[in-house]
Structures are given as C-alpha cells and as structure tokens.
Amino acid sequence: MKEAIRNFGRDNGVDAVGFAAIGDYHSPRTPDPGTLLPGVKSIVVLGYRELDGGLESENKQIRMMSRLALMSLVTRNNYLLAKFIEDRFRVKAAAIAPSYPLNMTAPGMGLVADLSLRHAAVAAGLGVFGRHNLVIHPRYGTRIIFTACLTDLAIDSDPPVQDELCNQCNLCVESCPAKALDEEGKTDPMKCLRVSQPNGIGGAIAYGKKFIGATPESMKEQLVNPRFLELYQASFIGFEYHCFKCETVCPACR
C-alpha cells in the first residue's frame, strides 16, 4: 500500500513521501483533523525539493518563478494523489492546500492553516525542526516544501528521524531581514510577512489607503507608480514569496 502511493508520487515529480497515523500528528494551533475529514486515520505527506538555482538567484523574478512553478505542480499533484487513493483503495481522501485557500476569519486571520504541514512532515518521518522553525529533511535540508492528503485509510507512521540535523549555527536568525526569528521556538508571522510577501493583502491595503482623500492628479500618479504595478501583477500571477533567506543560508544537509 505504501509502496503504491510512493511510486505514484515519484512518477509525478514528488521527491519524498512519508506517512503518519493520525494519532502521531500533534500541532498546538491547528484544528482537530477530524473536523477536516470525518473518520480520518492517516496523513500522506509529500515533499518537493526546491531548485538551488532559483533560490540563490539575485533576480527576484527568477526566485518567484521557481516557487510559483513548484506551487502549480504541488496543487495539481495534491488532487491527483487524493484521487489515486480513493480510486485504488476505495476510501476517502482530502487534499490539504500548500498555502491558499486559508481561513481568513478571526482569530486566525489567515495565519493558522487547517493542517500544519511542518508538524505533519515531522510525524511522517520526513525531518526534524531546526532553529528557524522549518523542517530539515535528511537529504534536502530546508530546501523542500510539503503538502499532504488526509485519508480514512489506516496507515502506520514511518519511523521518525532521530538525528539532530540542526547545528544551532544561528545563521538563519542573523540573516533574517525581518528579525522574525529572534525569539527561539517562534516565528513572528507579521514581521516575516512584511518582508517575504510585500505584495500580499497587507501591502495592498497599505497602498489602497493612499487613495483616500487624494487629489485626482495624485491618484493618476499612484496608478502608474511601480509599486501599484507590482501589486497588480501579484493579484493575478498568484502567491508570491520574495525572501528565502532562512532556507538559503541553512547549511544543514548541504
């Protein structure tokens, strides 16, 4: 059963596949997985390595393109895997989004996912947490993103990673331009978002406020401002990340 799912993943560009029985998944903030899929018994976690050339490029368009292309593959595969599990094993499966859509209502306001993919990856034997609060994979280090499918198919958890892969070098903390990792064991999401996603909803709201009470001439200037053009582009090309510092400086498994 596991091998069939792993082979399906490999055939579709997945670099790592892990399995977690639902009782081994523990996340302090996310909802009970039973509210996402009644009768859920297992989590299938998929890992995709990121392109070194994309992450390390000095050109932000190249960096964003690498992530956007990967997100497109991940989203497609998530549906295909859930469909494969349902068709092959005659059970239920539900795809978990790698990012959006998110629950934007209070109290989470888009900052708490339905399932913690990091905690799921650790439970599925795909890595351990580092000082940057990212999951370090034994082969790909931090240069990997995860997604998952829930299913009511009973699957045993894979063995957890026992090695301590983080050497506590603190390069991630020192290199973070947002100072979002200063408090150990916590990532300040608002500090991170302002730097990593400047064209997100916060940036759009801030720029929109410039139009309040503005003169017609000022409004015309704002509409041809490069900042507005960036926000416009982001609105249709999809989910953007501008900063990958915590990934690129991490020496783990490199």
Distance CA 78, CA 124 (A): 17
Q: Which of 146, 40, 167 is nearest to 99 (CA)?
A: 146
Distance CA 65, CA 60 (A): 8
Task: Give per-residue pLDDT as tens, 133-159.
Answer: 999 999 999 999 999 999 999 999 999
Which pLDDT belongs to residue 113? 87
Which pLDDT belongs to residue 107? 83
Which pLDDT belongs to residue 239? 72
**At residue 254, does pLDDT exceed 80?**
no
CB neighbour list of residue 235: distance below 8 Å, 6 or more residues apart: 204
DSSP secondary structure code for residue 34 in this structure = G
**Which SS3 state, helix, strand or coil, does residue 148 take?**
strand
Task: Give per-residue pLDDT as tens, 70-124.
Answer: 999 999 999 999 999 999 999 999 999 888 788 888 888 888 889 999 999 999 9
C-alpha angle with apex 29: 78 to 248, nearest 5 degrees? 60
The pTM of this model reads 0.90
Instruction: Give first-to-last CA distance, the chain, whole Å.
Output: 32
Distance CA 94, CA 248 (A): 32
**At residue 53, does pLDDT exceed 80?**
yes
Q: How far is CA 213 from the centre of its chain?
A: 38
Contact 14, 167 (CB under 8 A): no
- Tell me the pLDDT of the chain averaged across its residues: 93
Alpha-carbon dihedral 154, 97, 134, 176, rounded to 10 degrees = -170
- Tokens representing residue 72 in the block: 């497109």
- Tokens representing residue 74 in the block: 């991940």
- Tokens representing residue 11 in the block: 């055939």
Cis peptide before 28 (omega within 30 of 0): no
Q: How many CB atoms lie within 10 A of CB 177?
A: 12
Cross-strand pairs, 137: 141
